[in-house]
Amino acid sequence: MDAHPEARGLPPDATAVAWDRDSLEYAAVCSEIYGSGLRYVQEFAKNHPGLKNWCVVLDIDDTVLTTAPFRVEERGRAFNGCRWLKWNQSHFLDAVPGAKRFLDGVRRLPGAHVVFITDRRPVMLERTKVNLRRAGLWGKGDLLIGQDNPDDTKQKRRRDCVERAIDPRCKADGPMMIAALFGDQVLDFKSLYGDAVRSARARIVRDGAWDPRYFVLPNPMYGAWKVGYSPEKWHAKDWNCR
């Protein structure tokens, strides 16, 4: 058995990054998840004939674009928003396996829309669109909704921007029914922290109690799980750029 990464002088997330970047298994599981997701939304469209305004909601990082190259350069350092912003200004990320086939398939369905909801800040969004377009993931009519401030949670944006369309960022598109959600963190689906996460995990282990609309992409590199699902620690990110 190989020594733990730290014991070999490697960053603590080196094995996870290598698995994400190089393994056949990562490519296979992502492709399987997106394949299942496409079959799910095709069935949704079939069961809702005439529905003109529905959507799939996807996270960006390590859901449709892989951040492994950035993690390689970071060499295990704690996340810093300013380094992340600077890196994105001069680099592009590749598509997660299966994402393009899924999005192409969704856009062929009647009434379907694609909505990307990310915690990337507004200053990053134009560059993000360029990256999505370059990776073949951006389509006409897609929405990209970033995080305006720390209180601008994904759950709030899904409710106010997508389902109710009272947020100016997507008011013109009108309310949309969310058929399915894709992400690599629990917060991409619902706001859960601490004991609520542990209870949800116990229910999943016991009886498979997970919403069939939620499709989880694997990400062993980082996440709220690394800080025990503590909202204070997870949201304590340095964006004080100079």
Mean pLDDT of 186-215: 95
Q: Is-contact 89 82, C-beta < 8 A?
A: no
pLDDT at site 148: 93
Cβ-contact 196, 185 below 8 angstroms? no
User: Are 19 and 71 contacting, i.e. CB atoms less than 8 angstroms apart?
Assistant: no
Tell me which residue range forms the domain holding 120: 5-235
Q: Has residue 167 been placed in a domain?
A: yes
Query: How is 35-82 classified by DSSP, letter by letter?
Result: HHHHHHHHHHHHHSTT--SEEEEE-SBTTTB--HHHHHHHTTPPPBHH
Given a cut of 70, whether residue 8 has pLDDT beyond it is no
Residue position matching structure tokens 């997870």: 234
CA distance 117 to 108: 21
* pLDDT exceeds cutoff 80 at 3: no
Using left for φ > 0, alpha for ψ between -120 and 50, and beta otherwise, residue 229 falls in left
* Neighbour count for residue 176 (Cβ, 10 Å): 24
Q: In this predicted structure, what is the pLDDT of residue 173?
A: 86
Backbone angles phi, psi at 114, to 5 degrees: -115, 125
Instruction: Give the pLDDT confidence score for residue 103 in this predicted structure.
Output: 98
In a domain, 242, yes or no: no
Q: Tell me, yes or no, whether 169 lies in a domain.
A: yes
* E strands present in 136-185: 143-145, 177-183
In a domain, 139, yes or no: yes
Does the residue 160 lie in any domain?
yes
pLDDT recorded at residue 172: 83
Domain membership flag for residue 52: yes
User: Is residue 241 one of the residues assigned to a domain?
Assistant: no
Q: Which of these, 10, 146, 5, lies nearest to 81 by C-alpha position?
A: 146
The predicted pLDDT at position 105 comes to 98
Question: How does residue 1 score in pLDDT terms, banded at 50, 70 and 90?
Answer: very low
* pLDDT in the model for residue 2: 45
Whether pLDDT at 147 is above 50: yes
pLDDT number for residue 239: 65
User: Considering only CA atoms, which of 182, 184, 191, 201 is closest in space to residue 235?
Assistant: 191
How many separate domains does the chain show? Answer: 1
Burial class (CB in 10 A: 0-12, 13-18, 19+), 206: exposed
CATH of the domain at 86: 3.40.50.1000
pLDDT at 109 over 80: yes
**240 within a domain of the structure (yes/no):** no
Digit-coded pLDDT (tens) for 15-43? 999 999 999 999 999 999 999 999 999 99
User: Which of 58-72, 108-122, 156-170, 225-239 has the weakest average pLDDT?
Assistant: 225-239
CB 209 within 8 A of CB 203: yes
